[in-house]
Structure 1
Amino acid sequence: MKRFLKIVVSIWPFALVAGILMGLFVLRPINDFVAFYEHEVQADSATHYVMSELAGGLQGKKPAKSAFYAVAGGIIGLFSAIFYIGINDRNRRIKRLTAELAKDVEALIAQGESQDVEFKSSLRWDFKENRINKSLEAPVLKTLAGFLNASGGTLLIGVDDNCSIVGLEKDYQTLRKKNRDGFEQVIIAAVATKLGGDIAPFVQVVFHCVSTQEICRIIASPAPRPVYLDIDGSPRFFLRSGATTRDLNVREGIEWITTRWPK
């Protein structure tokens, strides 16, 4: 949100000026043109009437009318700028997501873990103890927070550290809705609850079938603000560094935040 507001602040003078000019030289002439025919104005022609009204406005005549169209145009200009920024930001995220999805998932697995790729065997099923273990959600959220605070990344669930496909079937059995939809709902709910509702749109969930097994691909885009993960009531700041996710101390966190999200 801060980034969005910063962009708006940086371009609002141009949008305002463009809007005012549009109000005076587009909206007002259009209105005068319509008024000529609606009110049967005494003038040689519509064009002559419109031009005379425009010239009068530039000379300071009918200031209230000029002010009205200047304000109306300025408002339209500002709202147009906000709309454009929103669309542009959305398109940028779609472009990034499209580029990420273009990467072959099997090739990602073969390359192993890296700065922007991490594997997790499961979300809730503990393969070592052969039971449900909801505490396994924490490492998943930790990794996502690290990606969000860095330059983004991909988390594959259903793939172990040895690049072997273990699938999601065990995880599905831990859910009320034992399928992809239920799995995605749990992930997005956890992100919204633990990392922030405004962060959820920056996390995309996709499923793939590899070697007859389903795996989950979570694509995290760079966050617009620092993302903290609450652990035992204490907010922690994680950052992806190399093939690991680090828990930064206060000094490191402040230094990174001031660099990554300059005011």
Structure 2
Amino acid sequence: MKSERRSIKKRLYISLSVVIIITVVSAISFFILSTINYRDKVISEYIKEKSSKAINHFSDKAILIENNIQLLTKWGQNGLIHLDDTSKIDLVFIPLIEDVKDIYAITLFEESGNEYEIKKENEAYLGRFYNEGKQDTDKAFRWKQMDKTGKEIGNWKGSIDYKPSKKDWFNNIQEDSLNLNWNKPYFSKSLNQRVISISSSWKSNDHVYYIVIHVLLKDVFGFFDIIELQQNEYAFLLSPEGDVYDFQGSKNAELSNQLSNNILVTPYYKNKIPEIAQAVNIWLDENKNTENSLPFRIDNTFYWLKFEYLNKDKKEYVLGIVVSESSFSVKIGESRFQSLLLSLLFVFAGVIAALFFILRYNRILRQIPKPGINNNNFERDIIRFSKSAESKTLEFKSTIRFNLRTEKNDKVIEQAWLKSVAAFLNTEGGVLLIGINDDGNYHGIEKDNFANLDKAGLHIKNLISKFIGLEYMKFVNIHSGTLDDKSIIALVCKQSSKPAYINIENDELFYIRIGPSSTKLSISQAVEHISNHGYKQLS
């Protein structure tokens, strides 16, 4: 019984350990994963919101300008725009520049080198015609100043060191009227601004004409105010090759007011803005990854980075956004609190599961007879044992010496329960109830015909001393009493500290309990059992 209770308690401890481990691991895993997932979600959504504003801003600007240059291209293909009559060009270009505020200038030239350009200056317009055939004379350039209606209010001639073919945007133009080209930004000395151009071309009367619309870089890509950058947040524009564009006149103006080239390359930022330098290095190292938000660390500050192509079809311009994780400390803290609450629910569920196992095993334990008999509660203990089935630690015998079949006293009956006593001593102890049959019914020992229970107990003691040994009586307690007017004897056996043999007809036999029966072992089996059983004393 001790063994069975011990086994059940062991299973209980194992079950509780498993529940505790699963609960703790689940709670910790959930807390960590939910916090990380929420953090990633919040940061991704935050960066996505900013990048979407920038992309939408660029798309709106770009689509408007592209639609207008496509319109000018169609007019040119239909012979409505040519260099023979600049006054007609004025009537087309000036209203367009007035209507689309982002357009700074429009240039029309042909492959021969002749060019006409209109740009806005304050409230007036300046038209410049360049004649390639007169480039070395003072008639190579003609200027005229006009009002918003295209009316000329002044003109002059002169010569300057200028050719369209020397301009930065000229080399990017292709002879393909169906292909619009956003050209690399260039620096306008007259404006002290970065300028970007879009170009198109067409053929008319065996001549190739080019149309170019010039826009201030900050107007097309001026989304820094729109996306509302906070402290420790950066937005920048770079080429697929990793060159970072400067925006003079925008939020990034302080980066390089002194530079005259059109781009800022990564090394410049290393001393100015290391966050952008690190971001560009990641762009190049991660094979231009635009799919995921990427983390990086500078000193003790964690940052998150996301790249997006502004024009995904051509992939010419890349938007980079860098945000500090500290910007989300409040939201992440709220998420951690929520995750902690849910983790506590996991723990609570684990406690409920643990209580379930405790109650379940307690019910099982209550059904197992407790070892030992209390003389003051003899009747209660006998009833409790009799309701249990025979087991490794419990056995029933109907009589001490009377054979119910032959209706005579029989040594075989005595030897049967003596074998059980020896087996209990050699295993884990147990309880032998005499006067109860195999079904747990109270039979009593009246047919053994002892004068009283004391005489019966003395007879049992003498038999144990004779066949097993007097020294083993210290491991056996004899209890007796009546139940339903039936006399019952209970032998409570403890595990012996040394092997117990039963001597029958000068033959020493060794028994152990295996399940609900007493089993005799061979000599070799007995030796192995004794060596493995851990007796405190061998004799």
Per the alignment, residue 452 of structure 2 pairs with: 179
Aligned residue type for 1:238: Y
Q: For residues 418 and 464 of structure 2, what CA distance do their matches in structure 1 show?
A: 7
Q: Does 1:104 align with 2:381?
A: yes
Q: For residues 371 and 495 of structure 2, what CA distance do their matches in structure 1 show?
A: 14
Following superposition of structure 1 onto structure 2, how do residues 197-236 of structure 1 map, counting pairs within 5 Å?
Answer: 197-236=470-509
Q: Does 1:191 align with 2:468?
A: no
Give the drift of 1:164. Answer: 1.4
Aligned pair in 2 of structure 1 residues 154, 247: CA closer, same or farther (>3 Å)?
same
Per the alignment, residue 158 of structure 1 pairs with: 435
Give the drift of 1:135. Answer: 2.7
Give the drift of 1:99. Answer: 5.2
Q: For residues 205 and 262 of structure 1, what CA distance do their matches in structure 2 show?
A: 24
Give the drift of 1:160. Answer: 0.9
Give the drift of 1:198. Answer: 0.7
Aligned residue type for 2:524: R
Q: Does 1:255 align with 2:528?
A: yes
Of 118, 121, 131, 2:398 maps to 121
Contact in 1 for aligned 2:453/2:487 (Cα 8 Å): no
Q: Deviations over 1:86-135 (max 9, x none)?
A: xxxxxxxxxxxx95225822121111211100000101111111122233
Q: Secondary structure at the match of 1:162?
A: coil
Give the drift of 1:262. Answer: 6.4
Of 511, 516, 535, 1:238 maps to 511
- Aligned residue pairs total 162
- Structure 2 unmatched runs, 5+: 1-369, 375-379
Contact in 1 for aligned 2:453/2:481 (Cα 8 Å): no
Q: For residues 406 and 536 of structure 2, what CA distance do their matches in structure 1 show?
A: 45
Per the alignment, residue 131 of structure 1 pairs with: 408
Contact in 2 for aligned 1:228/1:236 (Cα 8 Å): yes
Aligned residue type for 2:373: L
Q: Secondary structure at the match of 1:105?
A: helix
Aligned residue type for 1:164: N
Q: For residues 133 and 231 of structure 1, what CA distance do their matches in structure 2 show?
A: 14
Q: For residues 114 and 183 of structure 1, what CA distance do their matches in structure 2 show?
A: 25
Following superposition of structure 1 onto structure 2, how do residues 85-96 of structure 1 map, counting pairs within 5 Å?
Answer: none
TM-score by length of 2: 0.29
Higher helix share: 1
Aligned residue type for 2:460: I
Which is further off, 127-136 or 183-192?
127-136
Q: For residues 134 and 257 of structure 1, what CA distance do their matches in structure 2 show?
A: 28
Structure 1 runs, 4 residues or longer, greater than 3 Å off: none
Q: Secondary structure at the match of 1:217?
A: strand
Aligned pair in 2 of structure 1 residues 256, 262: CA closer, same or farther (>3 Å)?
farther
Q: Secondary structure at the match of 2:471?
A: coil
Identity of aligned residues (%): 27
Per the alignment, residue 143 of structure 1 pairs with: 420
Give the drift of 1:208. Answer: 2.8
Q: For residues 99 and 245 of structure 1, what CA distance do their matches in structure 2 show?
A: 19
Q: Secondary structure at the match of 2:442?
A: coil
Aligned residue type for 1:165: Y
Q: For residues 536 and 476 of structure 2, what CA distance do their matches in structure 1 show?
A: 23
Contact in 2 for aligned 1:120/1:158 (Cα 8 Å): yes
Contact in 2 for aligned 1:123/1:134 (Cα 8 Å): no
Q: For residues 99 and 157 of structure 1, what CA distance do their matches in structure 2 show?
A: 16
Following superposition of structure 1 onto structure 2, how do residues 27-106 of structure 1 map, counting pairs within 5 Å?
Answer: 100-101=372-373, 104-106=381-383
Q: For residues 141 and 224 of structure 1, what CA distance do their matches in structure 2 show?
A: 18
Contact in 1 for aligned 2:371/2:431 (Cα 8 Å): no
Q: Secondary structure at the match of 1:136?
A: helix
Q: Secondary structure at the match of 1:240?
A: strand
Contact in 1 for aligned 2:426/2:495 (Cα 8 Å): yes
Higher relative contact order (CA 8 A, sep 6+): 1
